C-alpha cells in the first residue's frame, strides 16, 4: 500500500458499504475498506499511515461549475479586499512599481470597496498617477463593474484622449472633460485587451497556485468554463496549457473543461481541431460545450417570459434567437458533444429546453448528459422538463446569499417559490450537480453545502424558502457523486469504493451529525486526489 | 420517430421519471417520455404507433448468466420431453432418418424421462437400431446423465467393442456382455466428440432461433458462458461467429460473452488473440473471464469448508489450489479483465475472494466489476466480502426449485439460512445480477422473478426461508439495471431513460400490483431490443 488512513469516520456514500474506519490506497486507487483491524495489517515498509483521529472523510469534492482560470488570473493581482483607505491601496501597489517597470508589466489590483474606506470615495486617475505615471496601473472594484486606471493605462488602451462631450464610452470624466480614470462595465474590456497577455508559463504558475487553493477546500475536480479568458482562439491555448500540465503531472486538481462556444462557426473550429467531450489527458479532460443563453438576475439581463416586476420595461436579454440556439445545440448534439447551457431566466430555460428536446427527437444520441447551468428562475412545469429530458441541473446554492435579496422583487413570490427549488429537483430524481461559479462566489464547498441545506445567510440569519432545502446527504451527493456523473466519471469517482480513484476529502467534524448551520465552520484537514495528498493541515 | 408506444403503464425504473404512459423511439434510442398527449404529436409519416392498451412496460430484461450456445445447440435436437412411450419417441426420430442418411448427420434426441413412460423402462441399443441401424441415433435423458445410443453411434464412438468384463467405461451391457447402448456421465463426452461438429452456418441458424426464444421471454441481453461448447480453441470460433452475426445484424438479443478460461496459458492465448473485456461489436461484446472454482451442490462437488452433512466423507471439489486461483485471477486483473468466478460452496467462495482481494491489493485497477457466479453457500461474514470488495453477486433465483430440497441436508439449517440470502445482499447494497444458468434452468425471466420474491415452488407451494426474499422491485432491478451494470452498460441500458437504448419489455400485467405468486403466469407481449421489435404477441 502507498497510504493507509485509519481511525476515521469514513462516509463512503456508497450504499454497498456506507461507513468504515480505514481505507487503503495504492497507485492512486482505493484498494481496501474496512475497520482498522482489517486494514492496518496491509501496511508495508513504505506505506504512509495517516491517523485520522476520528475525523470525517467523504469522497473528494467536485465543483461542477466555475471559471478556474479567471480565479487563477486574479491570483496575479494585488488583493485590495482588506485595505482601509486609498493610502493603503497605493502603498501595496507601490511595492510592484519597480518590477513592473523592468518587466514591462501592468500593475493590476482588485477587490477594493470604497464604501469600507475612511474617505468613502472612489480614487481617480490623478490619485493613481501619484503611485507611478510611467507604469500602467489598474484597480478593479470588488463588484467587477468598475476599474480605475492611471493615465498610462488609459493611454495604452487608447482611452486617454476621450472627452466628456464626445465619448460614447462607459467611463467617468473630470470637470475639465478629461477622463478621470473610472471605467465601467464593458469598456473595462478595452483595458483588459490592452494588457500584455499572460505567457503560458505565467498562466501555468497561476493555475498551480489556484489548484492549491482548490485542494485547500477539499476539491478534487473542477468543471470549469475558461475560454473567455483568451478570446479569439476558440480555447486552443487553454486546452494546450491544461494538457501540458496534465501530461507533466503539474495539476493538483482534476480539470473538466466546459468549452464555451458562441457560434456554429466556433463549434466547427472546435471540432476541426479534433476535440470532443471525453477527450482525456489524465487529470485534464475535455467536457461539454458551454453555451450562454442569457445574462444575470442582478443586472436584469436574465431572460424572462414576463417583465421584471421591479423594472416593467425589461424582460432581460436572450443571446440567441430560438433558431440560433436550436442550430447550435443540434450541431453539438449531432456530434455527440455534451452541452451545459447557462440559463438563469425562465425564458432562457424555455429556449434551451426546446432546443435540447428537438435535438433529442431529431438525432437520438446515447448517454449524452446535457444540462442547464444555474437554472434559477422557473415554474413547476418548467422544472419537470429536467426530469423528462434527463437534464443535469448545475446549481450554485451559495448564490442565495445575494439572490435571496433580489429574486422576489424581480419575479414575485410565487415564481420565486418554484425557483432555486432544489428540494423538488431532488424529489423528482433530477441529477443535481453542485458548484460555486467561482470567482463570482468563492469556491469554498462547505458554505455552499450549508446554503443548500439551510438556505440561510449565516451572517444575517435570514432564511429563504427553507422548505426548498436539501438534506445534508443530498447536498454532499451534489458535490461528490453527482459532480462525477456530470463529468462521466461516476464509475471511478464520487464514492469511496474499491476500484475507484482515491479522491478523498477529510474534515474535522462529521457533517451528518453537527447542526447544519455550523457547516461553514468545519475545517478541511486533508485532500487527496488520485492518491496524491494535495492539502494537509494538522493531521 | 420510428416507434411510439402509448396508453401503457411504463415503469421506467429511473427515479428521475418513474412512471409514464408513452415513449418515443428513434434510431434505436429512447428519445422522449411522457403522457400520451405529449408524445403522440411526435408521430411522423412513417412512425409505427403501438397501443399498449394498458399493458406494463419495463426496461428490457438482462439474463446475467447462462450458456446460450448450449441452449441453442439443444434446439438442433429432437425434443422428447412430451412423449408418453418409446414408440412415440421412435416415431419422432424416424422422420429424420432419410435426411440424416443423405446429409451424413446424426439423429440427436433429448429430454425423455422413462419414469413418465407407460413402460417405465430405459430403451436400449436394439430398440434404437429398429429405428435405423445405418444412421447414428442418440437419445439423452432429461437429467443429462444418461444417453442411449444405437449400434451405429456406439461404433462411430469406438464403444461398440467394449465388453462388460473388461470395460472401464460408464456404460451398460446386455447379459451377453455386449453394450446395451446406455452411456452415463463423462462417457457421454466420447459420444459427443464422435459427432460431426456443427458448421458455422448451422451454429448461426441455431443462435438465431435461440435468440427468438430469448426475445419471447422479454430478454434483450444474455451474458453467456459458451466456450466449453467447442473445446480446444479458446473460444475463438465462438467469438468469430457472434462477431460476424453482430456485424451482419443477425442477432436479436445482445450477447456479452463470459469467456471461460481454465489456465493461465489459456488466458495468455485469449490475450494474444487481442481480446479484452469491453471489446465491442455492436450487439456482441466480450465480457469477463469466467473461472470455475468448484462443482455443484446436487453432485456434492461444490467445495465446502465443512463436510457434507449427508455425506460426511466428502467436502466437494476445488478445481484449483489457492495458488493457482490466485495466479489466474491476478493475471486477469492485471490486464484489467473483469472476472466472473463460479463458486457454489463456501470454500470455493473463500478461495475466490482471497484471490480477488490479493489482486486488488497488489495491482489496483479502476472500475473492474469482478463478481461471483451462483454464490450459494456462505455464512454472514463471507457475504460481507461482497460488500467489502464491491463484488457483483450473480444469482439464479429459480435454482431454489431444486436446491430448497437438498440444501439443508447438505449444509444444515444454520448455514442454509445465510445461503441464497438475497435479502441481506440487497440490504448490504451489493450489486445483485439475476440470471437463469440456462439450459440448467429455463431462461424464462418471470418464474425467476417470482422465485426471487416468494422463494416458493408454485407447483408444491413449498416456501424456503421466505424472510430472505427480495421485493418485486428489487428482483426487477436484478434482471434490468443490475444486469446492465454487470456488463458495463448501465449508462445506455437498464432503465427507460432518454438517451438510453430502446431495450423494452412489455407484459400483460403490472408486476408491482399483482400477487407475487402470480408472476409466473404473466405473459410477455412484446420485446424491443435497440429499437427493433424482436417479439410481439397480440399487441
Contacts of B389 in chain A (CB under 8 A): 498
Residue B71 and residue B443: Cα distance in Å, rounded? 9
CA dihedral over B112, B116, B118, B119, signed as positive or negative: positive
A contacts of B360 (beta carbons < 8 Å)? 31-32, 498-499
Mean pLDDT of chain A: 94
Q: Which residues of B touch A429 (CB under 8 A)?
A: 14-18
CB contacts of B497 in chain A (<8 Å) are 390
Name the pairing type of β-strands B56-59 and B48-51: unpaired
**Mutate which: A366, A389, A495, vs B, most B CBs within 10 A:** A366
Confidence grade of residue A534 (pLDDT, cut at 50, 70, 90): very high
Cis peptide before A389 (omega within 30 of 0): no
pLDDT, one tens digit per residue, over B147-198 is 999 999 999 999 999 999 999 998 999 999 999 999 988 888 899 889 988 8
Q: Following DSSP, what letter does each residue of A101-153 receive, concatenated? A: HHHT--EEEEEE-GGGSSS-----HHHHHTT-SSS-EEEEETTSSEEEE-HHH
Q: CA of A426: which chain B residue's CA is closest?
A: B16
Residues from chain A that touch B424, judged by Cβ atoms under 8 A, are: none
B-chain CB neighbours of A497 within 8 Å are: 390
Helix (H, G, I), strand (E, B) or coil at A200: helix
- First-residue to last-residue Cα distance in chain A: 19
Judged by CB atoms closer than 8 Å, whether chains meet at A27 and B364 is answered as yes
The pLDDT value recorded for residue A430 is 96
Report pLDDT for A82. 87
Cell of B112: 425423455
Say which of B32, B357, B430 has its CB closest to residue A360: B32
Search chain B and give the residue with CA nearest A432.
B16
What are the chain B neighbours of A1 within 8 Å (beta carbons)?
Answer: 361
Share of chain A above pLDDT 90, in %: 87
Any idea which residue has 465491442 for its cell? B280
HSE-up of residue B72 (Cα within 13 Å, Cβ side): 28
Least confident of A38-47, A111-120, A278-287, B384-393: A111-120
Q: With beta carbons under 8 A apart, name residues in chain B contacting A491.
A: 366-367
Q: What is the distance between the alpha carbons of residues B338 and B343, in angstroms, rounded to a whole number?
A: 16
Percentage of chain B surpassing pLDDT 70?
100
Strands (E), B474-538: 504-507, 524-529, 532-536
Query: A500–B30: do the CB atoms touch at under 8 Å?
Result: no
- Residue B330 C-alpha, separation from nearest chain A C-alpha, in angstroms: 14
Q: What chain B residue is nearest to A365 in terms of C-alpha separation?
A: B499
Measured in whole angstroms, the distance separating CA A220 from the mean position of its chain's CA atoms is 13
Comparing CA positions, the residue from A87, A502, A491 lying closest to residue B491 is A491
Q: Measured between alpha carbons, how far is A225 from A203 in angstroms, rounded to an integer?
A: 15
Burial classification of residue B84, based on how many CB atoms lie within 10 Å of its CB (0-12 exposed, 13-18 middle, 19 or more buried): exposed
Cβ within 8 Å, pair A361-B26: yes
pLDDT at A76: 82
Distance (Å) from the alpha carbon of B189 to chain A's nearest alpha carbon: 41
Decide if B366 and A32 are in contact by the 8 Å CB cutoff. Answer: no
Question: Predicted confidence band at A144 (pLDDT cuts at 50, 70, 90)?
Answer: confident
b/e sequence B95-128, b meaning 16+ C-beta within 10 Å:
ebeeebeeeebbbbbbbbebeebeeeebbbbebb
* Separation between Cα atoms, residue A143 and residue A140, nearest integer Å: 8
- Residue A539 pLDDT greater than 90, yes or no: no
Cα A487-A489-A492 angle, rounded to 5 deg: 160
- Nearest by CB to residue B365, choosing from A29, A360, A389, is A29
Quick one: which H or E segment has residue A428? helix A422-428
Predicted pLDDT at A180: 96
pLDDT of residue B229: 84
Instruction: Please compute, for residue B494, the number of CA atoms within 13 A of its CA located in the half-sphere on the CB side.
Output: 23
Partners of B33 on chain A (C-beta within 8 Å) are: 388
Residue A519: the pLDDT is 97
Residue B113, pLDDT score: 87
> B493 contacts in A (CB within 8 Å)?
none
* Residues in B touching A334 (Cβ below 8 Å): none
| Spatial separation of the C-alpha atoms in residues B212 and B219, rounded to whole Å | 9
Candidates B480, B384, B390; CA nearest to B433 is B480
Are A27 and B501 a contacting pair at CB < 8 A? no
Residue A98: CB atoms within 10 A of its CB come to 11
Structure letter (DSSP) for residue B311: B
Asked if B366 and A492 come within 8 Å (Cβ–Cβ), the reply is yes
Q: How far is CA B212 from CA A79, A447, B67, B74, B534, in A?
A: 71, 57, 15, 14, 7
pLDDT at B41: 96
Answer yes or no: do A498 and B390 touch at CB < 8 A: yes
- Report ipTM for this prediction: 0.76
Nearest CB to A388 within list B17, B357, B428: B17
- Burial letters for B179-189: b for 16+ Cβ neighbours within 10 Å, e otherwise? bbbbbeeebbe
Q: Is the pLDDT of residue A73 over 90?
A: no
Please name the residue of chain A whose CA is at the shortest distance from the CA of residue B17.
A387
Cis ω before A439 (30° cut-off from 0): yes
pLDDT by 10-residue block (mean), chain B, 539 residues: 97 92 96 95 96 97 96 89 94 95 92 89 96 96 88 96 93 96 89 88 92 97 92 86 96 97 94 93 96 91 95 94 97 97 97 96 93 96 93 96 93 96 96 94 94 93 95 98 97 95 97 96 97 91
Q: Residue B42 belongs to what H/E stretch?
A: none
Compute the C-alpha angle B525/B526/B531, nearest 5°: 170
C-alpha to C-alpha distance for A257 and A65, rounded to whole angstroms: 9
CB B286 within 8 A of CB B277: yes
pLDDT of residue B447: 96
In this complex, which of A33, A390, A429 lies closest to B388 when CB atoms are compared? Answer: A33
Per-residue pLDDT band at A308 (split at 50, 70, 90): very high
CB contact under 8 A, B33 and A388: yes
For residue B281, which phi and psi values (nearest 5 degrees)? -130, 60
Write out chain B residues lying below 8 Å of A15, CB-based.
429
Which residue bears the cell 424555455? A350
Contact by Cβ (8 Å): B172, B182:
yes
- Whether residue A359 contacts residue A400, with contact meaning beta carbons closer than 8 Å, is answered with no
Strands annotated E in A346-483: 371-374, 392-395, 432-434
Least confident of A242-256, A504-518, B226-240: B226-240
Q: Which of B392, B248, B263 is nearest to B328 (CA)?
A: B263
Nearest residue to A152 via CA among A134, A127, A173, A130: A134
Say whether A360 and B428 touch across the interface (CB within 8 A): no
What is the pLDDT confidence band of residue A256, given thresholds at 50, 70 and 90?
A: very high
- Chain A to chain B Cβ contacts (< 8 Å): 112
**Distance in angstroms (rounded) separating the CA atoms of residues A86 and A119:** 8
Q: Name the nearest CA neighbour of B164 among B150, B151, B149, B179.
A: B179
Residue from the list B29, B360, B428 with its beta carbon closest to the beta carbon of A365: B29
Please state whether B83 falls in left (phi above 0), alpha (psi between -120 and 50) or beta. Answer: beta
Nearest Cα neighbor of A304 from A376, A397, A380, A400 is A376
Given this model, what pLDDT does residue B8 score?
A: 98
Contact A364 B17 (CB under 8 A): no
**Cβ–Cβ of A364/B14 closer than 8 Å?**
no
Per the CB < 8 Å rule, is A361 touching B501? no
Q: Is B4 exposed, middle or buried (0-12, 13-18, 19+ CB in 10 A)?
A: buried
Interface residues of A toward B, Cβ cutoff 8 Å, are 1, 14-18, 24, 26-34, 42, 357, 360-361, 363-369, 387-390, 428-431, 491-492, 497-501
Q: Which of A14, A364, A390 to mutate to test the interface with B (most CBs of B within 10 A)?
A: A364
Q: Cα distance from B413 to chain A (closest Cα, Å)?
A: 27
On the question of pLDDT at A165 being above 90, the answer is yes
- Enter the DSSP assignment of B443: -
Q: What proportion of chain A, given as a percentage, has pLDDT over 70?
A: 100
Q: How far is A357 from chain B (nearest CA, A)?
A: 8
A28 CB neighbours in chain B (<8 A) are 364
Q: Shortest CA distance to A111 belongs to which of A88, A149, A75, A144? A: A144
The per-residue pLDDT for A197 is 83
pLDDT of residue A450: 97
Chain B residues in contact with A393 by the CB 8 A cut-off are: none
Nearest CA in chain B to A30: B364
Bridge partner list, B20: B10
- Our CA angle for A426, A429, A433, nearest 5°, is 65
CB contact under 8 A, A32 and B361: yes
Interface test with B, best of A16, A330, A337, A497 (most B CBs within 10 A): A16
What are the C-alpha distances in Å from A288 to residues A61, A340, A371, B389, B489?
A: 19, 6, 9, 33, 21
In this model, does residue A401 exceed pLDDT 80? yes
Instruction: Take residue B261 and report the three cell numbers written for it.
Output: 478460461
Q: Is A366 in contact with B34 (Cβ distance < 8 A)?
A: no
Treating both helix axes as pointing N-terminal to C-terminal, what angle do B346-362 and B380-388 enclose, rounded to 10 degrees?
30
Distances (CA, A) of B239 to A45, B259, B273: 45, 9, 11
How do residues A456-497 score in pLDDT, each as one tens digit?
988 889 899 999 999 999 999 999 999 999 999 999 999 999
Amino acid at each position: 500500500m502507498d497510504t493507509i488512513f485509519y481511525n476515521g469516520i469514513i462516509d463512503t456514500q456508497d450504499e454497498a458499504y456506507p461507513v468504515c474506519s480505514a481505507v487503503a490506497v495504492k497507485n492512486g486507487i482505493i484498494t481496501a475498506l474496512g475497520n482498522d483491524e482489517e486494514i492496518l495489517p496491509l501496511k508495508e515498509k513504505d506505506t504512509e499511515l495517516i491517523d485520522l483521529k476520528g475525523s470525517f472523510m467523504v469522497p473528494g469534492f467536485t465543483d461542477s461549475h466555475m471559471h478556474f482560470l479567471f480565479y487563477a488570473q486574479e491570483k496575479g493581482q494585488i488583493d485590495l479586499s482588506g485595505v482601509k483607505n486609498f493610502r493603503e491601496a497605493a502603498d501595496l501597489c507601490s511595492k510592484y512599481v519597480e518590477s513592473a517597470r523592468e518587466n514591462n508589466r501592468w500593475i493590476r489590483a482588485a477587490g477594493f470597496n470604497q464604501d469600507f474606506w475612511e474617505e468613502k470615495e472612489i480614487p481617480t486617475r490623478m490619485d493613481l498617477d501619484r503611485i507611478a505615471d510611467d507604469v500602467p496601473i489598474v484597480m478593479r472594484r470588488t463588484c467587477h463593474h468598475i476599474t480605475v486606471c492611471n493615465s498610462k493605462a488609459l493611454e495604452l488602451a487608447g482611452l486617454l484622449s476621450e472627452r466628456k462631450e464626445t465619448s460614447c464610452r462607459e467611463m467617468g470624466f473630470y470637470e475639465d472633460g478629461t477622463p478621470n480614470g473610472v471605467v465601467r462595465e464593458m469598456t473595462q474590456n478595452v483595458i483588459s485587451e490592452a494588457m500584455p497577455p499572460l505567457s503560458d508559463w505565467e498562466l501555468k504558475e497561476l493555475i498551480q497556485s489556484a489548484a492549491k487553493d482548490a485542494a485547500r477546500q477539499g476539491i478534487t475536480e473542477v468543471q470549469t468554463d475558461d475560454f473567455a479568458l483568451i478570446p479569439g482562439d476558440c480555447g486552443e491555448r487553454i486546452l494546450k496549457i491544461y494538457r501540458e500540465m496534465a501530461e507533466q503531472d503539474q495539476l493538483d486538481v482534476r480539470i473538466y473543461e466546459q468549452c464555451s462556444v458562441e457560434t456554429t462557426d466556433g463549434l466547427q473550429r472546435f471540432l476541426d481541431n479534433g476535440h470532443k467531450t471525453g477527450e482525456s489527458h489524465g487529470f485534464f479532460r475535455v467536457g461539454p460545450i458551454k453555451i450562454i443563453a442569457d445574462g444575470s438576475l442582478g443586472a436584469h439581463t436574465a431572460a424572462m417570459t414576463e417583465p421584471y416586476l421591479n423594472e416593467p420595461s425589461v424582460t432581460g436579454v436572450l443571446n440567441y434567437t430560438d433558431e440560433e440556439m436550436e442550430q447550435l445545440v443540434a450541431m453539438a448534439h449531432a456530434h455527440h458533444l455534451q452541452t451545459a447551457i447557462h440559463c438563469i431566466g425562465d425564458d432562457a430555460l424555455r429556449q434551451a429546453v426546446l432546443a435540447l428536446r428537438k435535438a433529442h427527437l431529431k438525432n437520438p444520441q446515447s448517454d449524452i448528459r446535457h444540462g442547464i447551468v444555474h437554472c434559477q428562475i422557473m415554474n413547476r412545469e418548467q422544472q419537470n422538463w429536467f426530469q423528462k429530458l434527463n437534464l443535469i441541473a448545475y446549481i450554485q446554492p451559495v448564490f442565495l446569499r445575494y439572490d435571496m435579496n433580489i429574486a422576489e422583487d424581480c419575479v414575485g413570490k410565487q415564481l420565486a417559490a418554484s425557483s432555486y427549488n432544489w428540494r423538488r429537483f431532488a424529489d423528482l430524481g433530477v441529477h443535481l450537480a453542485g458548484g460555486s461559479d467561482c470567482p463570482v462566489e468563492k469556491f469554498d464547498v462547505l458554505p455552499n453545502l450549508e446554503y443548500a441545506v439551510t438556505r440561510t445567510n449565516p451572517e444575517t440569519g435570514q432564511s429563504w424558502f427553507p422548505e426548498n432545502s436539501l438534506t445534508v446527504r443530498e447536498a454532499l451527493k451534489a458535490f461528490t457523486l453527482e459532480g462525477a456523473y456530470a463529468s462521466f466519471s461516476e464509475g471511478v469517482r464520487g464514492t469511496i469504493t474499491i476500484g475507484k480513484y482515491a479522491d478523498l476529502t477529510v474534515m474535522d467534524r462529521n457533517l451528518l451529525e453537527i447542526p447544519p448551520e455550523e457547516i461553514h465552520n468545519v475545517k478541511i484537514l486533508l485532500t487527496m486526489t488520485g492518491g496524491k495528498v494535495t492539502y494537509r493541515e494538522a493531521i
